[in-house]
Amino acid sequence: MMSIKWKGIVVIYENILVEKRGNVALITLNRPKALNALSPDLMRELSSAVDILEPDSTVGCLVVTGSEKAFAAGADIKEMKTKSYMDVYMSDFITAEWERIARCRKPVIAAVAGYALGGGCELAMMCDFILAAENAKFGQPEINLGIIPGAGGTQRLPRFVGKSKAMEMALLGQARIMDANEAERSGLVSRIVPLNELVDEAVSTGQKIADLSQPIVMMAKESVNRAYETTLNEGIRFERRLFHSAFSTEDQKEGMSAFSEKRKPKFKNK
């Protein structure tokens, strides 16, 4: 159990660890005995952590990681198995607890070692990019449980790896797990990192982002994400408007002056 103080309130976490390293918030999923199975409690804690960290001006980037053995082995099967249709429909299961991380306006890096299965793979895909350890394993084994992926797997996975591989993974489940090399080759992960360097590398990558102008970083993230939601023409128009608006910031003046004066920029997030 760990607690953090936020606006004078003590927030207690039982399923995650939250720490600040420089300007990076490191969130570690911490249910080792259940291979970080994503229970509603864990997902509520993760959402609450994002609620706290997103508006914190000292945090420029978030990193979500798990253990060396498992990023997360999926939604918690033991908690789900007796749920009825009405239970999941009326409580808006998944939507209610899971989507906060995908709505975070600051960058979120997933640092994945070991199993990222089912909801674990889906959670990683909700982040902005995935750094994978050599032992990372991605899959959508829901079909073996008599369900289909329910946290975006059938939608985000094809956008990352294309229809053929995504379809094979969704249809074959446990029989079609993707290793780190294939995940990098197919565009699911941005880079493979040695296991013992994974978290440090993710944090130092996050710090490089945190050293930049926060509003400009947020615009870049919003603009890339737009590519998945609209036509090319509309996306280009959206990018152009944000690009134009970047010229209204002090950080644009500072960034370009620093380049001309051959010095490091001092961004003010303004």
Coil, helix or strand for 6?
strand
What is the rounded CA–CA span in Å between residue 159 and residue 173? Answer: 18
Least Cβ distance, residue 3 to ligand CAA (angstroms): 25
168 noted as active-site residue: no
Kindly state the tokens that stand for 232. Answer: 């090319």
Count other Cβ atoms within 10 Å, centred on residue 175.
12
- What minimum distance in Å lies between the beta carbon of 158 and ligand CAA? 15
Burial of 163 (0-12, 13-18, 19+ CB in 10 A): exposed
Q: Which is nearer to ligand CAA, 155 or 257 (CB)?
A: 155
122 given a catalytic annotation: yes
Which residue among the candidates 119, 152, 153, 173 is catalytic per the annotation?
119
Q: CB of 261: closest distance to ligand CAA in angstroms?
A: 51
- The nearer residue to ligand CAA, 3 or 144, going by C-beta atoms, is 144
Q: Which is nearer to ligand CAA, 142 or 251 (CB)?
A: 142
Helices (H), 54-117: 77-80, 85-90, 95-98, 100-103
**Is 227 a catalytic site residue?**
no
112-149 per-residue burial string, b: 16 or more CB within 10 A, e: under 16: bbbbbbbbbbbbbbbbbbbbbbebbbbbbbbbeeeeeb
Active-site residue identified among 37, 122, 151, 220: 122
Residue 53 identity (one-letter amino acid): L
Positions in the binding site for ligand CAA (CB under 6 A): 34-35, 37, 73-78, 94, 115, 117-119, 122, 141-142, 145, 149-151, 153
Of the listed 45, 97, 142, 201, which one is catalytic?
142
* Known catalytic membership, residue 162: no
The first and second tokens of residue 235, run together, are 């996306």
Provide the minimum distance between the beta carbon of 15 and ligand CAA in the complex, in angstroms, as a whole number.
Answer: 13
CB 196 to ligand CAA: min, Å: 20
Name the residue nearer to ligand CAA (CB basis): 59 or 102.
Answer: 102
Q: Which is nearer to ligand CAA, 31 or 165 (CB)?
A: 31
Taking each helix axis from N to C end, the angle separating 214-226 and 250-260, rounded to the nearest 10 degrees, works out to 100
Give me the active site residues, please.
75, 119, 122, 142
